Amino acid sequence: MLVIQLFKRPLLPLAVAVISILLTACGGGGGGGTPTSTPTPQPAADTTAPVITLTGDAAVTHPQGQAYTDAGASATDDIDGALNVSPSGTVNVDEPGQYTITYSATDSAGNNTTETRTVTVTADLNVFKAGAADALWDEGLGAYDSGNPNYGTCKNDGGAGCPNISWSMAADADRGDVLQITHSSAGKDAGFFIQTSNLTTVDASAYAGGNIIFDILVVSGDSNFSMKIDCVYPCTSGLYSLGSKGASGWETVTVPVNNLVSGGLDLSKVNTGIVIWATKLTSTVFQLDNIRWEMGDGSTDGDTGSGPAVDYTSPISYEGYSMVWSDEFDGSTLNSSNWTHEIGDGCNNNLCGWGNNELEYYRSENTTIADGLLTITAKQESFGGRNYTSSRIKTQGKKFFTYGRIDVRAKLPKGQGIWPAAWMLGESITTVSWPASGEIDIMEMVGGTINREKTTHGTIHYSNAGGSREYTGGSTTVANGLLADAFHVYSIDWDSTSIKWSLDGVQFHSEQITSSDRTEFHENFFFLLNVAVGGDWPGAPNAETQFPQQMQVDYVRVFQPD
């Protein structure tokens, strides 16, 4: 049978944790004798109460279903010294709520004192059962779908209210019933979720440092998946790429909770147990089983912005836009209808290095297509009179565009002297040459230091009124990790008035293109992807540069207004 237990806990008998009351009897004694004429002085009466010190915090949070062990307390008295402490109260670990433990101590003179500890048992997502809502996950199974007005949702209906995604129970020979999710062939943005009601959230703070774990199997279609966890809108972890999973049979996927925290997830107000979809959103059927959250140590590296890098995936559609072209790099060879290799060391008119004093020789052999990714590999090897090889590809004469939203999803190389780029040149370059043709750099990174390898640059190059090259642009850095540690989406929004650059959906720079010296940016431009080695900007590799280095590109997409 399918078990969706969204917070993992030990298999313990359901029980109420009862902290027993320890009774301590205290007493005194007296004496007698024949009084004398001179009374013996009596000590002053003891009226000072003992002092109780709690071990641990006075207010603690405890996850539902986990056995509770109280930290206890100690007591001292200025006359009697250490005293026994009597605790009272119960903590029902199977029922979310607030419970009070009271600690009491009495000295030999009968002076009594008390202290209290508040224990808050937080709701555990473990109680959710597939196919039926309960008090916590009362919205149950559902999906969002861009095919509905305003990305409307459908819930607990198997997807009847969503045109592009559906779900049902399916029989597995070994596992029994599992959950099966189907994406239509329309390629519309849609994702499956397990959700609380709009009025319910879960405090999942105890799961910081832990993992979200589930099993996945691809029945048909592409095996690349993305997920996220949502908290109260507009809070979300952001899109988290899982890569290729479950293509060859059931595969267990482990997602560190802190990676999602680094992406913006607020664990104190979670309202989805999981949101998941096939990344390419088309003609994919997959199955899920054993979805659970696993507790961690409570630490969140992402709080300081120094946590692990997080993959980012952009939407497959934008409101008011249509995708007019893309290369998703499927198959096993570069699509020659889209791309042409540029070969050589860039020597022209006694100048070599592609105008930048680069050190590589570009070859087609350094380009591969596999698992939905284009990979350009820079190598340290002698070829064509050069000590390094790499690849450079372009869409010149095949795919070119004026204006639009352009997304390039890529994971970059790193190292001193390494220079990856996703950029564009004007189709007019063969007639007016550069820089009069114009250049739009969607992404450039120069390796060598941590800060350089966290920074992407967006730039335009053009010919000014005097015919000389001008350039201007901006840059931004990622908060966590290097650009080589995760996939990021490098974008431009280009229209008749400006070009705007974004990293992972966040704009970081804009340039106007309405002035008379920027007319080239209203013409057709084609794409180039390459990894240069050396050059005027990054400098040459050094002894610390490791080869080979790779740039992986997941897709290039062009959207234009409807």
328 as an active site residue: the answer is no
DSSP H/E element including 24:
none
* 8-state DSSP, 449: S
Cβ(113)–Cβ(105) below 8 Å:
yes
The residue behind tokens 């010190």 is 53
- CA distance linking residue 524 with residue 428, whole number of Å: 8
DSSP string, 146-215: TTSGGG-EEESSTTTT-TTEEEEEEEETTTEEEEEEEE-TT---EEEEEE--TT--B--GGGTT-EEEEE
The contacts of residue 285 (CB under 8 Å, 6+ apart) are: 180, 181, 182, 183, 218, 219, 220, 221
Cβ(130)–Cβ(4) below 8 Å:
yes
Catalytic residue (one of 439, 453, 511, 520): 439
Cβ(361)–Cβ(309) below 8 Å:
no
Catalytic residue (one of 328, 358, 427, 444): 444
325-342 as b/e, with b when 16 or more CB fall inside 10 Å? bebbbeeeebbeebbbbe
The phi and psi torsions of 119 (rounded to 5 degrees) equal: -115, 115
CA atoms within 13 A on the CB side of 160: 3
399-418 as b/e, with b when 16 or more CB fall inside 10 Å? bbbebbbbbbbbbbbbbbbb
DSSP H/E element including 257:
helix 257-262
- Give the count of beta carbons closer than 10 Å to the beta carbon of residue 101: 23
Cβ(390)–Cβ(378) below 8 Å:
yes
Structure tokens at 258: 């802190």
Question: What's the first-to-final CA gap in the chain, in angstroms?
Answer: 47
Segments of 24-72 assigned E as strands: 51-54, 59-63
Phi-psi region of 56 (alpha: psi -120 to 50; beta: other; left: phi over 0): left
- Give the count of beta carbons closer than 10 Å to the beta carbon of residue 16: 11
319 as an active site residue: the answer is no
Number of H helices, E strands in the chain: 2, 38
Task: Answer whether the bond into residue 420 is a cis peptide, omega within 30°.
Answer: no
Active site residues: 439, 444
